[in-house]
Amino acid sequence: MKKVLFYQKDTPKNQIDLWNNKLKKWYKDFKLIRLDDPEASEAMIALLWKAPMDQVFKFKNLEAIISLGQGVDHIINDMNFNNNLSVYRIVDPYMAKSMSHWVILSILNYIRDYDGYRNQQIKKIYKSRNFLDFKNIKIGIYGIGQIGKVVAKDLNSLGFNVLGWSRSQKNYKFLKSCYSSDGFNHMIENCDIHICLLPLTRDTRKIFDKENFSKMKKGVCFINAGRGDHIVEKDLISFSGSKIKLAILDVFGEEPLPKTHPFWENKNIIIWPHVSAETNVETAAKQVANAIKLIHSGETPDNKINLDLGY
């Protein structure tokens, strides 16, 4: 029976059994094995999330890697990565909707001053507070791929004015398409809420830095659910409370976020522990099982990564 390597960081020990049971509903001709299994070297496919890649790349029979999430930077950006490997990612409508819910939650809490009302409740103050008129807000989404376009469409359906930035122009009715450096600068300079959903590539690493934060309007909200390395953290801190009224962050350069990190004590930053859109085994298993089956059959599954682009 063909071996499939499995590693998923920071999950319960029985996670491999859960994945095995769900995958076997759709495809049975494989054996899921752990990284430290003596048979691991026989695997031609690996299912991974933030694995110790120096160990993974020692297995010479490996031909394909399936990321157990939307992101692949933890695989292809590793110094040990072999460009002869094929890499695939999960594109799950459930994950896209989960991200959309989290972004909408963050935006509505921000514009209706949820924290302000909670603080008033503690002090037993019963009065209205200022709120931002959604008709006058421009929301910019950086990265309008499989997840970003769902977020944009849902925000548009709520009456928000949505702009989206990508490498090339998009023809979506639910947002204004911005592209190239000119489009990026237009959004940076004109949006009231900035949402980063970008893949992490050579071009997007540290894209939100001092130069781009300085171009933003005063008092914006910045939301990051892409990757922590999209931000220069010290630059975000320096603009926090001035240009950036509130930053809502779900991802960080180092995770878990160290207890000594200055983000924890910053009243203008809200911290989430990378939970905005987690992989759902129930909804992703069919897609992953089908990818394993196709690779074993010498075929190419959907959602193959273009290694030159990084996504």
DSSP notation for 47-63: EEES--HHHHTT-TT--
Q: pLDDT (tens digit, 9 = 90+) per residue, 107-154?
A: 999 999 999 999 999 999 999 999 999 999 999 999 999 999 999 999
Q: Which fold has domain 3-92+279-296?
A: Rossmann fold (3.40.50)
Which pLDDT value is given to residue 269?
98
The H or E element that residue 75 is part of is helix 73-76
User: Is 90 exceeded by the pLDDT of residue 12?
Assistant: no
pLDDT at 308: 92
Residues of the chain above pLDDT 70, percent: 100
Strand, helix or coil for residue 239: helix
Confidence label for 285 from pLDDT (cuts 50, 70 and 90)? very high
Find all residues with CB under 8 Å of 51, minimum gap 6, and list them: 7, 9, 35, 74
pLDDT higher than 90, residue 14: no
pLDDT at residue 10 above 90? no
Neighbours of 128 (CB within 10 A): 8
pLDDT at 102: 98
The strands making up 244-249's β-sheet, listed across from edge to edge, are 176-179, 161-166, 138-142, 193-196, 220-224, 244-249, 269-271
Cis peptide before 256 (omega within 30 of 0): yes
Q: Is the pLDDT of residue 47 over 90?
A: yes
Residues 120, 104: Cα–Cα separation, whole Å: 23
How distant, in Å, are the alpha carbons of 6, 99, 100, 140, 194 from that of 255?
Answer: 21, 19, 22, 26, 22
Euclidean distance between CA atoms 74 and 200, whole angstroms: 9
Fold: same for 3-92+279-296 and 93-271? yes
User: In terms of CATH, what superfamily is 93-271?
Assistant: NAD(P)-binding Rossmann-like Domain (3.40.50.720)
Question: What is the arithmetic mean of pLDDT over 180-184?
Answer: 97
Average of per-residue pLDDT values in the chain: 96
Domain ranges of the chain: 3-92+279-296, 93-271
What are the residues facing 240 on neighbouring strands? 244
In this predicted structure, what is the pLDDT of residue 180?
96
Beta partners for residue 177, in sequence order: 164
Q: What is the pLDDT of residue 13?
A: 78
Find the mean pLDDT for residues 44-54. 95
* Over residues 100-112, mean pLDDT: 98
Residue 284 banded pLDDT, cuts 50, 70, 90: very high
Asked if pLDDT for residue 69 goes beyond 90, the answer is no
pLDDT tens for each residue of 203-237: 999 999 999 999 999 999 999 999 999 999 999 99
- What is the per-residue pLDDT for 70? 84
3-state DSSP call for residue 136? Answer: helix
Whether residue 33 is predicted with pLDDT greater than 90 in this model: the reply is: yes
Q: What is the pLDDT of residues 243-275, one digit of tens each?
A: 999 999 999 999 999 999 999 999 999 999 999
Share of the chain above pLDDT 90, in %: 96
**How far apart are alpha carbons 151 and 96 in whole angstroms?**
7
Please report the pLDDT score of residue 160 as a whole number. Answer: 98
What are the backbone angles phi and psi of residue 122, rounded to the nearest 5°? -60, -35
Return the pLDDT at 27: 97
Segment holding 65, helix H or strand E: strand 64-67
Q: Are strands 3-8 and 161-166 parallel, antiparallel or unpaired?
A: unpaired
If one counts every other C-beta atom within 10 angstroms of the C-beta of residue 234, the result is 10
What band does 292 get if pLDDT is binned at 50, 70 and 90? very high
Average pLDDT over residues 176-193: 98
